[in-house]
Structure 1
Amino acid sequence: MGDPALSRRGFLAASVAAGLGVTALSGCGGDSDGGSSSGTTTIEWWNISTTEPTKTVWASLAQQFEAQNPKVKVKIVQLENDAYKSKMTALTASGKLPDIFHAWGGGVLKQQVDAGLVEDLTDRTQPWADGLLSVSKQPYLLDGKLYGVPFDIGMIGFWYNKALFKKAGISAPPATWSGFLDAVKKLKSAGITPIGLAGKESWTGMYYWAYLAMRTAGVDALQQADKNKDFTGDGFVQAGQHLKDLVALQPFQRGFLGAAYSSPTGQAAAVGNGKAAMELMGQWAPVVEADAGKGLGRDLGFFPFPAVEGGAGKITEVFGGGGGHALRKGAPQAAVDFLKFFASETTDRELVKKTGVLPVVPGADSALTDANIKAVQAQLKGATGFQLYLDQAYAPALGQQVNDSVAGLIAGSKSPQQVTDAITRTAKEEQ
């Protein structure tokens, strides 16, 4: 499955920067759909699946596609996450992208689209793309046009220890923010650390502010604020105040500001070892909790981020992201055919069973076996709104500012108003 945190953050640090040397990168794309006297089309597929079991599963899928399409050859280029980001930044600056390439959607994909480097897949993928889980396509929709096809989708929510909740007298997961704060107080009164947090990695705290902004201002407001370059609205300030109220309860584990996410003494381990009652994390959380700690087994549960009373958002609006594939401008039909093959129910079922992704093809839902993952999938299927991770949805510098500003609020060095002011300044600087 690889490092879920790295995979989640995606193009966090990437920027489309001119001046990067690309001479070491052999030509990809452009020449791949012709020039062969045998009539064979070679398509290059760049992805970040360098770890098992995904690496082997994906290689096998490429071979299956070749067997079904004898005149097509798939050339796989697999790079570790950070190396991939670096190479793709250089290739974007050079104006020449691979035929098929891993994409997370959001700000970086928009930059590539605006540069005229990415194929509009709206017409070329109909009608089969219409059958994919609607929420999974959201990160790749720009101005109503589809520029990527998802193979994975997920969401952030609370993973909690049922036994510790019971010990604290909490009968059911809270559905409202006031109920959530009450649950935190009950856990503390019972001598239980309520929440594990990796304060050393700013993206983990961003989840709280982002969800609270969705619940107070609404998901549309977050997207509009990016367009208007203005995050100073009351709903965003209120989100920071709600987070400040949580921080004031001192809910996190001792030393959280220096804690990493997946280390043996970090956030996931605190929950996995029963030292903290819950964490706000994506669908990969159970695997990391078991890897960094012991794992909770049947004591592990999942619930969506609570609603905020009086807020414009709904509990059915989800925050998350996933992985997908985009094509270079002018990619051959064989590349589109490969995306169709990858998005088929047969392929998706294999991905779900062997690599642990959540299905984007509704018919592959039956391949899910874990009760908690089924709960996540049910939330995604019932979603009435979707917001991509802010450090992917926004341009890289803005996404980083959101992370850093929220980290300052959690550490006590920034007020809710200062958070929104800092984010707005960065947004305006990027205009």
Structure 2
Amino acid sequence: MGDPVLSRRGFLAASVAAGLGATALSGCGGDSDGGSSSGTTTIEWWNISTTQPTKTVWAALAKKFEARNPKVKLKIVQLENDAYKSKMTALTASGKLPDVFHTWGGGVLKQQVAAGLVEDLTSGTKPWADTLLPVAGQPYLLDGKVYGIPFDIGMIGFWYNKSLFRKAGITTPPTTWSGFLDAVRKLKSAGITPLALAGKEKWPGMYYWAYLAMRTAGVDALREAGDSKDFTRPGFVAAGQHLKELAALGPFQKGFLGAAYSTPTGQAATVGNGKAAMELMGQWAPVVEADAGKGLGADLGFFPFPEVEGGKGKITEVFGGGGGHALRKGAPQAAVDFLKFFASETTDRELVRKTGVLPVVPAAEDVLTDPNLKAVQAQLKAATGFQLYLDQAYAPAVGQEVNDSVAALIAGSKSPAQVTQSITRTAKEEQ
């Protein structure tokens, strides 16, 4: 799976400092078009692939691209996630972005596009970008225009222990919210902790509210709420009520409010060690469960977040995100060529095989061997709607307020209506 924890960290939008981050680096893109006296075009490629095996794999791909394009030189700049965000915040404010840069899409990309700093890739990439997995490109679509090309995509769903389900008499994973609550009750009656949750880190709890909002109000409602700065519609309040109903069943492990995600006593380890039946987490979950705990092997299964009866959402609408690359406004053609190379079937096969990402090129799917990752990929292929992680879809302060307010709801200190009011208030303050 490569580095799933780093991947998730990439999805966490937090209020980042406006300073230069851990390292003061040289300016971006200034000599990209001029190159050297030999006519070489230098392209700066900024990414967060600081850990193995991704770092080595990406460096080798850069060399391969240079070998095919002798007059192009790739200058790779790599920063750890938080330092990258800090540096990019400063560069955005200065109006000068790198030629090729990592993006998660959503709110930050929208701000950069609004400032006129990002290249519109719609026409320049259409012949080959249209062949990529449709859901993978959703985070980089703004007003119908393409501003980024994906190299990774994933989704959140329930990872469950088949053995514990059998012990509780649950024959098939639930497909409705009422069925899910029944499964929670059956597990509790059998003396099994139904769910593990990293309450200390807040973002894992956000997944529940986000999915319930998608299932009750509909996936379009979350985008509309972000645009209108109003999260108080009844469907969002109902999402909180459903989550409150779940929390009232006492489904989480003992001490969950102080639990982290990937520590030896955290959420992933609790599931990986067979001490809880389920966790709501992304496609990286199996690796983290095995790293933090023992892992479940063949006992591990996956199912999508259930539908809510009477809601506007469908079980085929997914919540997730991934990574992509965008270009600065006016980047040289060689930068577009690099995006095409990185999104090719050959490159994607290598990324899937060596770094554990899920394929964005449908023809590369046969590289997948893990049955659970195949199950996730099948859900992504069949997706009829997509919602980016809320702490990436919205401005950082709004995303953080979603996390904080939902955590307070789960802890019992905020009502469903208060959650929507707090998020709305923060959104309006960001205007």
CA contact 2:21–2:83 (8 Å) conserved in 1: no
Q: Normalised by the size of structure 1, how large is the TM-score? A: 0.98
Q: Does 1:317 align with 2:297?
A: no
CA distance in 2, matches of 1:48, 1:10: 12
1:325-364, aligned counterparts within 5 Å?
Answer: 325-364=325-364
1:264-303, aligned counterparts within 5 Å?
Answer: 264-303=264-303
Q: CA offset at residue 24 of structure 1?
A: 3.5
Alpha carbons of 1:21 and 1:317: their partners in 2 closer, same or farther (altered >3 Å)? closer
Alpha carbons of 1:204 and 1:23: their partners in 2 closer, same or farther (altered >3 Å)? closer
Q: CA offset at residue 276 of structure 1?
A: 0.4
Q: CA offset at residue 6 of structure 1?
A: 5.5
CA distance in 2, matches of 1:201, 1:90: 26
1:234-253, aligned counterparts within 5 Å?
Answer: 234-253=234-253
Alpha carbons of 1:77 and 1:197: their partners in 2 closer, same or farther (altered >3 Å)? same
1:97 counterpart residue number: 97
CA distance in 2, matches of 1:424, 1:57: 43
CA contact 1:269–1:293 (8 Å) conserved in 2: yes
CA contact 1:7–1:81 (8 Å) conserved in 2: no
CA contact 1:153–1:322 (8 Å) conserved in 2: yes
1:163 counterpart residue number: 163
CA contact 2:271–2:279 (8 Å) conserved in 1: yes
1:39-54, aligned counterparts within 5 Å?
Answer: 39-54=39-54
CA distance in 2, matches of 1:238, 1:205: 16
2:402 counterpart residue number: 402
CA contact 2:118–2:328 (8 Å) conserved in 1: yes
1:69-148, aligned counterparts within 5 Å?
Answer: 69-148=69-148
Q: Deviations over 1:90-133 (max 9, x none)?
A: 11111111110000000000011111111111111121000010
More displaced 10-residue stretch of structure 1: 312-321 or 3-12: 3-12
CA distance in 2, matches of 1:375, 1:22: 39
Q: CA offset at residue 10 of structure 1?
A: 3.4
Q: Deviations over 1:293-350 (max 9, x none)?
A: 0000000000000000000000000000000000011000010000000000000000
CA distance in 2, matches of 1:54, 1:369: 19
CA contact 2:21–2:87 (8 Å) conserved in 1: no
Give the aligned CA root-mean-square deviation in angstroms.
1.5
Alpha carbons of 1:163 and 1:123: their partners in 2 closer, same or farther (altered >3 Å)? same
Alpha carbons of 1:21 and 1:266: their partners in 2 closer, same or farther (altered >3 Å)? closer
User: Alignment identity in percent?
Assistant: 83
CA contact 1:16–1:111 (8 Å) conserved in 2: no
CA contact 1:9–1:391 (8 Å) conserved in 2: no
1:180-259, aligned counterparts within 5 Å?
Answer: 180-259=180-259
CA contact 1:348–1:360 (8 Å) conserved in 2: yes
Q: Deviations over 1:217-265 (max 9, x none)?
A: 0000111111111111110000000000000000000000000000000
Q: CA offset at residue 399 of structure 1?
A: 0.5
Q: Normalised by the size of structure 2, how large is the TM-score? A: 0.98
CA distance in 2, matches of 1:118, 1:14: 22
Partner SS state of residue 200, structure 1: coil
Structure 2: which amino acid aligns with 1:27?
Answer: G
Gaps of 5+ in 1: none
CA distance in 1, matches of 2:21, 2:376: 42
CA contact 1:198–1:267 (8 Å) conserved in 2: yes
CA contact 1:196–1:252 (8 Å) conserved in 2: yes
> Size of the alignment, in residue pairs?
430
Alpha carbons of 1:301 and 1:3: their partners in 2 closer, same or farther (altered >3 Å)? closer
CA contact 2:165–2:187 (8 Å) conserved in 1: yes
Q: CA offset at residue 33 of structure 1?
A: 2.1
